């Protein structure tokens, strides 16, 4: 181990092969750069939860994501921030105040790897019995880990547990709650898999996974923009899943997020469908879901003023599953597309406004209103570095976060 920070005497830079508890490197990487305090980490003992935050470039919300982990009432966790690429000084500065906590480490891949690869590194960077992945623009409420560890621990058949999430804006202000389509409790794999395949209702920031479940399906995220879809579907195909009727995670809408390109997003689902082609999903359901995706792609193309592309997707939808025409929701979308094509620019504007409104308000069902407890954010005192971190063994003090003014 080679220390390069003589001034601090705490966090040091090391080669990943010196790092205890890190699983073998995926994707042919020779080494990762690890910043942490190995001696303090060893003294702190084993964690119950491994938390991974994959990040790339400069994320203005990374500190808030980290602080939401620090604020957890369950304090037996280990956080790995996996930075994709050669490493930025701005990210290094963001991480520096947190590396004095023996539960926190910063990994730099050194070279640019895929989105799926960075997620996989975050998942494999530890050996705790539970694993949570938090995107670098989202955040957890203080009881997030405590609730899910208790639920999965009490239900051995569950491979993962998820809940609802609060949609927040760029400033962290709650906009509303995403509806949950399932009742609270354990849902059997055979019943939930078809529903999940057709409608990905599991929000990325809401999930905690049993490590043995990850390992059973390979713990490898595929190289897709929506890399969560194949993983959640694959886990649901092999394990029961648990639903908690709580809204204790925040999903942030902002212009620079991966899913911000609304009129391009649907096309990314076709490779996601291909990635789970081996799973026990009926052919009729596969045809229907692909047809529905083609219809949405047709509406996307209309918004982009690509008439020929729109007609191509509408034709593919009908060829893929002719029975989609008798399904009211699909038929209504097709008619809306045809009407927009027939009325030119004016019809395109009407369609765009309608779809944009639904995109930001939770789809056809809309969002539930935000509740008073949703107006929470990670403590600003941690972000500023004005106060020291609390004892990792405690769950009081600044770890509770604070209310929005």
> What are the pLDDT digits (tens) for 121-174?
989 989 999 999 999 999 999 999 999 999 999 999 999 999 999 999 888 899
In a domain, residue 48? The reply is: yes
Residue pair 253/167 in contact by the 8 Å Cβ criterion: yes
Res 2 pLDDT > 50: no
Do 92 and 108 belong together in one domain? yes
pLDDT band at 360 (very low <50, low <70, confident <90, very high): low
Question: What local confidence, expressed as pLDDT, does residue 376 receive?
Answer: 80
Do 50 and 87 belong together in one domain? yes
Do 107 and 161 belong together in one domain? no
Res 27 pLDDT > 90: no
Nearest to 236 by CA among 181, 189, 187: 189
Res 361 pLDDT > 90: no
How far, CA to CA in Å, does 115 sit from each of 159, 222, 227, 260, 336? 23, 8, 8, 16, 35
pTM of the entire predicted model: 0.83
Do 291 and 244 belong together in one domain? no
Do 235 and 169 belong together in one domain? yes
Examine the fold and report which residue of 103, 131, 159 is the final residue of a domain before the chain moves on.
131
Nearest to 368 by CA among 166, 90, 169: 166
Do 124 and 154 belong together in one domain? no
pLDDT band at 30 (very low <50, low <70, confident <90, very high): low
Do 114 and 52 belong together in one domain? yes
pLDDT in tens, 187-232: 999 999 999 999 999 998 999 999 999 999 998 998 888 889 999 9
Res 178 pLDDT > 70: yes
Residue 83 β-bridge partners: 55, 108
Domain with 335 in it: 282-360
Distance CA 395, CA 405 (A): 23
Nearest to 71 by CA among 169, 146, 168, 171: 146
Do 354 and 298 belong together in one domain? yes
DSSP state of 202: -
Examine the fold and report which residue of 131, 148, 170 is the final residue of a domain before the chain moves on.
131
Do 3 and 81 belong together in one domain? yes
Do 104 and 34 belong together in one domain? yes
Strands 240-252 and 185-187: antiparallel
Structural domains counted in the chain:
3
In a domain, residue 371? The reply is: no
SS3 359: helix
Res 402 pLDDT > 50: no
Question: What local confidence, expressed as pLDDT, does residue 253 receive?
Answer: 84
Question: What local confidence, expressed as pLDDT, does residue 258 receive?
Answer: 64
Burial class (CB in 10 A: 0-12, 13-18, 19+), 103: buried
Can you state the percent helix, strand and coil of the chain, rounding each to 5?
45, 20, 40
Q: Is the model more confident about 385 or about 125?
A: 125
Distance CA 341, CA 346 (A): 10
Residue pair 181/195 in contact by the 8 Å Cβ criterion: yes
Residue pair 264/300 in contact by the 8 Å Cβ criterion: yes
Do 126 and 41 belong together in one domain? yes
Residue 164 β-bridge partners: 247
Lowest mean pLDDT among 16-25, 137-146, 267-276: 16-25
pLDDT band at 14 (very low <50, low <70, confident <90, very high): low
In a domain, residue 222? The reply is: yes
In a domain, residue 365? The reply is: no
Distance CA 308, CA 316 (A): 12
């Amino acid at each position: 181990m080679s220390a390069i920070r003589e001034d601090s005497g705490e966090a040091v830079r090391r080669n990943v092969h010196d790092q205890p508890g890190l699983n073998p490197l995926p994707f042919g990487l020779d080494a990762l750069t690890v910043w942490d305090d190995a001696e303090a980490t060893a003294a702190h003992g084993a964690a119950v939860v491994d938390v991974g935050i994959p990040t790339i470039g400069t994320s203005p919300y990374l500190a808030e994501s980290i602080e939401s982990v620090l604020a957890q009432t369950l304090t037996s966790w280990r956080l790995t921030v996996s930075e994709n690429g050669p490493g930025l000084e701005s990210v290094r500065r963001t991480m520096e105040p947190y590396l004095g906590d023996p539960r926190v480490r910063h990994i730099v891949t050194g070279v640019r790897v895929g989105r799926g690869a960075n997620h996989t590194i975050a998942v494999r960077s530890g050996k705790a019995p539970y694993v949570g992945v938090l995107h670098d623009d989202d955040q957890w409420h203080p009881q997030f880990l405590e609730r899910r560890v208790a639920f999965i621990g009490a239900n051995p058949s569950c491979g993962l547990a998820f809940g609802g999430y609060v949609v927040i804006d760029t400033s962290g202000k709650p906009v509303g709650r995403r509806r949950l389509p399932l009742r609270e409790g354990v849902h059997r794999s055979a019943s939930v898999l078809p529903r999940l395949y057709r409608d990905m209702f599991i929000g990325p920031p809401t999930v905690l996974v049993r490590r043995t479940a990850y390992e059973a399906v390979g713990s490898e995220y595929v190289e897709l923009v929506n890399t969560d879809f194949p993983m959640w579907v694959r886990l649901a195909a092999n394990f029961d899943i648990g639903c908690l009727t709580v809204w204790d995670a925040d999903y942030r809408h902002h212009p620079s997020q991966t899913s911000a390109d609304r009129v391009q997003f649907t096309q990314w689902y076709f490779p996601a469908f291909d990635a789970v082609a081996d799973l026990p999903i009926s052919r009729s359901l596969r045809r229907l879901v692909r047809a529905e995706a083609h219809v949405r792609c047709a509406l996307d193309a209309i918004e982009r003023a690509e008439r020929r592309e729109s007609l191509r997707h509408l034709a593919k939808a009908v060829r893929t599953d002719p029975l989609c025409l008798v399904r009211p929701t699909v038929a209504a979308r097709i008619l809306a597309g045809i009407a927009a094509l027939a009325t030119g620019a004016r019809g395109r504007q009407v369609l765009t406004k309608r779809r944009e409104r639904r995109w930001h308000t939770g789809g056809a069902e809309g969002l539930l209103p935000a509740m008073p407890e949703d107006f929470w954010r990670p403590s600003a005192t941690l972000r500023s570095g004005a106060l020291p971190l609390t004892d990792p063994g405690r769950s009081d003090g600044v770890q509770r976060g604070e209310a929005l003014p």
